[in-house]
Amino acid sequence: MSATLIDGKAFAAGVREKVANATAALKASHDITPGLAVVLVGDDPASEIYVRNKKKMTEEVGMQSFDYHLPASTTREELLAKVDELNSNPEVNGILVQLPLPNKDDENIVINAIDPEKDVDGFHVINSGKLATGQDGLVPCTPLGCLMLLKDTLGDLSGKHAVVIGRSNIVGKPMSQLLLNESCTVTTVHSRTRHIKEETKRADILVAAAGKPEMVEADWIKPGVVIIDVGINRIALPEGKSKLVGDVNMEEVAETAAAITPVPGGVGPMTIACLLHNTLKATCIQHQIPFPLGA
Ligand code: GUN
């Protein structure tokens, strides 16, 4: 194998350490402890594990964690009342409503009810509008983590051809906009794209966020590409076993790519690290204190 493995686990630990140091400094200078509220509706087992991890890491960096587990039967009005309560609580600086919600129609309404300055997911139209127009705001955690890994691997991204596979509001769209803001030439491809391999083969940077196990194969890439694999797919193995794989077939691309994030241990740990980064940033915005960790 010739591709370098991009160690997201180690990089994320470094981000969390910087957040922890800045959190301690904020406490010492202003007597402020950032607080992150997470709202989980219903009982999706994968979301429950994710929320448990978030709580542990929030406390590890010295922030306050507020957790609300509401039943799947929670009405839109009840959920909006919870968001209102958190918007008015000065101890809560960041609000995350875990998606998907049991009722898909509630998602945009609930997200847009969050105070944009507390929107640590960066999903509110105010924050997505800021990202689209190149203004400073809160940026979605997974694409922010991908960008940090890309800059650490490649330095300046200006002029590079980036191809993003996927157009979700959580990853694909904000990722394309972040790369455009870095002066990349950006192509977004998705399930309806014709001749998808012709597009991905032109990429200097390939971000795979399609949610399709091992979709990217050897003939999808050009030599020297840097690949960020956002996919986390559990696939069945014989004898009732299973394993996690990304959207990229690692064995196939290993000889040709210059660098790639592994699954697990690549992008996954960066998401929570960036959530903590965003919670610190949100706290600084609300108290009009300069953010010590840059954009
Ligand atoms: N579900 C999957 N990823 C995310 C995320 O980054 N934020 C929220 N709120 N829900 C998610």
Rounded to whole angstroms, the Cα distance separating 155 from 84 reads 41
pLDDT score of 140: 98
pLDDT score of 169: 97
pLDDT tier at 295, thresholds 50, 70, 90: low
Q: Check if 84 is active-site.
A: no
For residues 253-264, give the mean pLDDT: 97
pLDDT score of 46: 85
pLDDT of residue 212 exceeding 90: yes
141-154 helix and 268-286 helix, angle to the nearest 10 degrees: 110
Phi/psi class of residue 262: alpha, beta or left (left: φ > 0; alpha: ψ in -120 to 50)? beta
pLDDT score of 44: 87
Structural domains in the chain, sorted by start: 31-115 (3.40.50.10860), 141-268 (3.40.50.720)
**Which protein residue has the closest C-alpha to ligand 1 atom 2?**
99
**Atom of ligand 1 at shortest range from CA of 141:** 6
Locate 67 and state its tokens. Answer: 């957790």
Neighbours of 4 (CB within 10 A): 12
224 Cα to the center of ligand 1, angstroms: 31
**Do the beta carbons of residue 257 and residue 226 sit within 8 Å?**
yes
pLDDT score of 124: 98
**Atom of ligand 1 at shortest range from CA of 142:** 6
99 Cα to the center of ligand 1, angstroms: 5
| Percent of the chain clearing pLDDT 70 (strictly above) | 99
67 Cα to the center of ligand 1, angstroms: 15
pLDDT score of 1: 60
Mutate to test the pocket of ligand 1, among 141, 169, 170 (most ligand atoms within 8 A of CB): 170
Considering the candidates 106, 115, 121, 229, report the single residue annotated as catalytic: 121
Mutate to test the pocket of ligand 1, among 98, 175, 275 (most ligand atoms within 8 A of CB): 98
For residues 174-194, give the mean pLDDT: 98
pLDDT of residue 74 exceeding 90: yes
For residues 23-46, give the mean pLDDT: 96
Q: Which residue has the tokens 């309806």?
A: 192
Rounded to whole angstroms, the Cα distance separating 263 from 6 reads 10
For residues 30-47, give the mean pLDDT: 95
pLDDT of residue 3 exceeding 70: yes
Ligand 1 pocket by C-beta < 6 Å: which residues? 96-99, 121, 141-142, 170, 271
Q: Check if 121 is active-site.
A: yes
Mutate to test the pocket of ligand 1, among 41, 99, 114 (most ligand atoms within 8 A of CB): 99
Considering the candidates 98, 118, 119, 160, report the single residue annotated as catalytic: 98
Q: Tell which residue, 128, 170, 124, has the closest CA to residue 145.
A: 170
**Atom of ligand 1 at shortest range from CA of 121:** 7
pLDDT score of 195: 97
Considering the candidates 54, 118, 160, 173, report the single residue annotated as catalytic: 54
pLDDT of residue 72 exceeding 90: yes
Q: What tens digit of pLDDT does each residue of 139-157 get?
A: 999 999 999 999 999 999 9
For residues 64-72, give the mean pLDDT: 97
178 Cα to the center of ligand 1, angstroms: 18
Q: What tens digit of pLDDT does each residue of 99-115 get?
A: 999 999 999 999 999 99
